[in-house]
Amino acid sequence: MKYIFEKYELSLLDCDNNNCKIQLSPKLGNALLKERRKLYVVHYNNEILYIGEANTSIKTRFQRGCTSFNYFIQKGEARGGYKGYKWLNKEKNIYRNLSVCVVIFDHKYDDKRSFIEAIEGELVYLVRKKFDYWPKFQNEIHFSNYDGAKEIAEKILSMIN
């Protein structure tokens, strides 16, 4: 299976009104340019905080999560049923400078969300198995049985640590 592995730094910038903004660097990369199926792993040092899946640029995905979080903070209600990322909350997550590993899959997987979600589920489970904790801010896991998903998740985890 073909994929590209990239690393980014994600700064969480807190505002006076309890909202936050994000800053992602570097400013160039495949995860920022292409709308492709991707998995992303948010971590602080060696602690994995969250694993997610997206089909937009990673910057757009984080901006949407931030917009929903800010809406929830200001209005006290979910935006379209979504409250944004839990790890944006400065009271629940004191780490404000995070790392993000992004795996961008080949275009032939753009319509194979279930397969990518199976890899995501295996990756979350492998974190639990290897480190004896679930990612701290993980909301949900999609479990599907696909041949090869576990092996791909193992390769991805080995590239992160």
The DSSP line for 53-76 is: EESS-HHHHHHHHHHHHHHHHHHS
Q: Give the percent of the chain with pLDDT over 90.
A: 88
DSSP SS3 for 92? coil
pLDDT per residue as tens digits for the range 22-44: 999 999 999 998 789 999 999 99
CB 41 within 8 A of CB 123: yes
pLDDT per residue as tens digits for the range 60-114: 999 999 999 999 999 999 988 999 999 999 999 999 999 999 999 999 999 999 9
Tokens linked to 91: 């009271």
CATH class of this structure's domain 3-155? alpha beta
Indicate whether 117 pLDDT > 90: yes
DSSP class of 87: G
Q: State residue 142's pLDDT score.
A: 84
Give 27's contacts (C-beta < 8 A, 6+ positions apart). none
Question: Of 56, 64, 65, which Cα lies nearest the Cα of 31?
Answer: 56
* Angle, CA 50 vertex, CA 155 and CA 113 arms, to 5°: 65
Alpha-carbon span 70 to 84, nearest angstrom: 8
- Full-model pTM: 0.94
Domain boundaries, given as residue ranges, for the chain: 3-155
Q: State residue 148's pLDDT score.
A: 95
Q: State residue 39's pLDDT score.
A: 98
DSSP SS3 for 52? strand
Query: Which residues partner with 124 through β-bridges?
Result: none
Tokens linked to 71: 């809406």
